[in-house]
Amino acid sequence: MLIVHHLAKHFAGVRALRDASLEVRAGEIHALVGENGAGKSTLVRIVTGALTPDSGEVTFDGKAVNVYSPTVARSMGIAAIHQHPTLFPDLSVAENLALGLESTGAWTRVDWRARRDRARELLARVGARIDVDREAASLSLPEQQLVEIARALGARARLLILDEPTASLTPQEVDRLFALLGELRAAGTALIYISHRLEELPRLADRVTVLRDGQTVGTREMADVTKAELIRLMVGREVEAIFPKREIAIGDPLITLDGVTSRSAGIHDVSFTVRRGEIVGLAGLVGAGRTELARVLFGLERLDRGSITLNGQPIHPTSPQEAIGYGIAYLPEDRRRHGVILDLGVDANLTLATLKAISKGGLLDHQAETSIATGLVQKLGIKTAALETPVRNLSGGNQQKVALGRWLVRPPRVLILDEPTQGVDVGAKSEIHRLIGELAGQGMAVLMISSELVEILGMSDRIVVMRQGGVAATLDRATATAESVMAAAFGTASAA
């Protein structure tokens, strides 16, 4: 029914997909799995018309797709349900179900009775008892999902894509959802089911396709494949020897987390220690709570229970200013949104966290600023036309070096790195890795969040794997393998 042939897609020099193929039959539930960044969502976005591929083709129902637009995809009968429902929160359930389904002109009178009746009928088909006059915002997450599925039914979707639909459902809700998906399959609908929960796939899926690094590595009958085999397919590559791991004398414990729990961040009972000179890799799937943990340490989320001990002293940062005062530095994920200030120059960005160091009584000392910035630009090898060039004009790798350099004006004791090489080209990547090694060598405790297994395995002295807001496993450099990390992240192995 759906045939995806050798799709490739680049984003600003980063290859999201290079050779992805997929074939889904009518009346089949087809699972799509792969680690973070394997290209699953890019593939889905192409199939639903949100992105146009660089090369390759999509055939639906025997017809080649040549215009990629959400409207075209919807009219062909392709619908997607995302992890976070996309209903209009201020509109009623009936209105949400009517949007995009009622094919009336902009000035046609709305027939409210018909609209409500139709909404009730669609909801009945998915077995949901929801008042059609309720505002979508007042619905629970599973209810919202049901409304979305009802909307897909109303649109006569013949291919339904579900992206992590069970991430926030209770087991009973999952059972109900699976029963419904089974009925849809029986009615001849094709379903693509994306999930990190490998254990639920055998109950549900007929076949499974594994993506790795933007490439399809295989399609298997679900009945013939084991979880271990799936993980091997997902990981399936050697850790290349591109990480010249420096031998660093690891010192005393510097920061110790004991039972750290934060309801607002969804973190519970996280305990581990990072020692001087040690790089601890924080692995896990997207949504496992890694960034949220970093936000707790940096005073951005409330610490409800547990303790953080820095250098023997209990600390309780409640704002970034306080955390910085304790000597904690945080290089956030998504540098363009959080890491750098695009309108400011390289120099102003580098000195932003240490304005006090370059000012006397509130007055900026431009000479001091220039000398600090010059030093960092040389040390980090930042390629920029001039010191005052807006960071907007730098390449991704150089922007990231600026974001990192900000924390080296006054070297911190604890350095938290969140996806430090995301979207950075290969050359800059290894330079950043070298820098991280150097910083650890100076006695910093480094906590590195990364979704890239190779990076985690290559850089870390120890690896803490998070899963669903808690620690799933702590692995040693010597014994950690891609499989053991992934197994812990997917929750399919007993904690090592």
Partner 1 sequence: MRLAGLGARERAAALVLGALLAILAIAAPGFFSPDNLRDILMANAAVLIIALGMTLVVLTGEVDVSVGATFAVCAVVAGTLARDGLGMPAAIAAAIVVGAAIGFLNGALVGAMGLPSIVVTLAMLAILRDGLRWITEGAWVRDLPSAFQWFGFDQVAGRSIVIGAAVILTALAGWLLSRVAAGRAIYATGSNRDSAHLAGLAPKVVIVSVFVACGVLTAIAAVLNAVRFAEVQGAVIGGLELKVIAAVIVGGVAIRGGRGSIAGTVLGVALLGTIGTGLTFLGISAYWERALQGAIILAAIASDRLTAERARGQA
Residue of the chain from 161, 348, 432, 486 that contacts partner 1 (CB under 8 A): 348
Measured from the CB of residue 333, what is the shortest distance to partner 1 in angstroms? Answer: 11
Residue 367 binds partner 1 (CB under 8 A): no
- Beta carbon nearer to partner 1, 171 or 361: 361
> Does position 316 bind partner 1 by CB under 8 A?
no
Instruction: Report the residue from 388, 426, 441, 495 that binds partner 1 according to the rule CB under 8 A.
Output: 388
The minimum distance between CB 147 and partner 1, in angstroms, equals: 30
Q: DSSP label at 407?
A: G
| Amino acid letter, residue 496 | A
Which residues share a beta bridge with 29?
191
Contact between 472 and 486 (Cβ < 8 Å): no
From candidates 406, 429, 433, 462, binder to partner 1 by CB under 8 A: 406
Q: Which C-beta is closer to partner 1: that of 159 or that of 300?
A: 300
The answer to the question of residue 302 lying near partner 1 (CB under 8 A) is no
Kindly state the number of chain residues that form the binding site for partner 1, as judged by CB under 8 A: 32
CB atoms within 10 A of CB 312: 9
Interaction of residue 364 with partner 1, rule CB under 8 A = yes
d(CA 394, CA 384): 7
- Identify which of residues 14 and 101 has a Cβ nearer to partner 1 in the complex: 14
Using CA atoms of 193, 195, 201, 203 in order, give the dihedral in degrees to the nearest 10.
-70
Residue 409 is given by DSSP the state S
Q: Which is nearer to partner 1, 396 or 458 (CB)?
A: 396
Taking CB under 8 A as the rule, does residue 187 contact partner 1?
Answer: no
**Residue 317 touches partner 1, criterion: CB under 8 A:** no
Closer of 20 and 444 to partner 1 (Cβ): 444
Residues 323-342 that bind partner 1 (CB under 8 A): 324, 330, 332, 337-342
Contact of 474 with 272, CB cutoff 8 Å: yes
**What crossing angle do the helices spanning 396-405 and 426-441 adopt, rounded to 10°?**
20
Residue 47 has what DSSP assignment?
H
| Residue 116: how many other CB atoms lie within 10 Å | 19
Largest Cα separation within the chain, whole Å, is 76
- Helix axis angle for 141-154 and 112-125, nearest 10°, is 110
The site for partner 1 (CB under 8 A) is made up of: 298, 300, 320-321, 324, 330, 332, 337-345, 347-348, 352-353, 355-356, 358-359, 362-364, 366, 369, 388, 392, 406
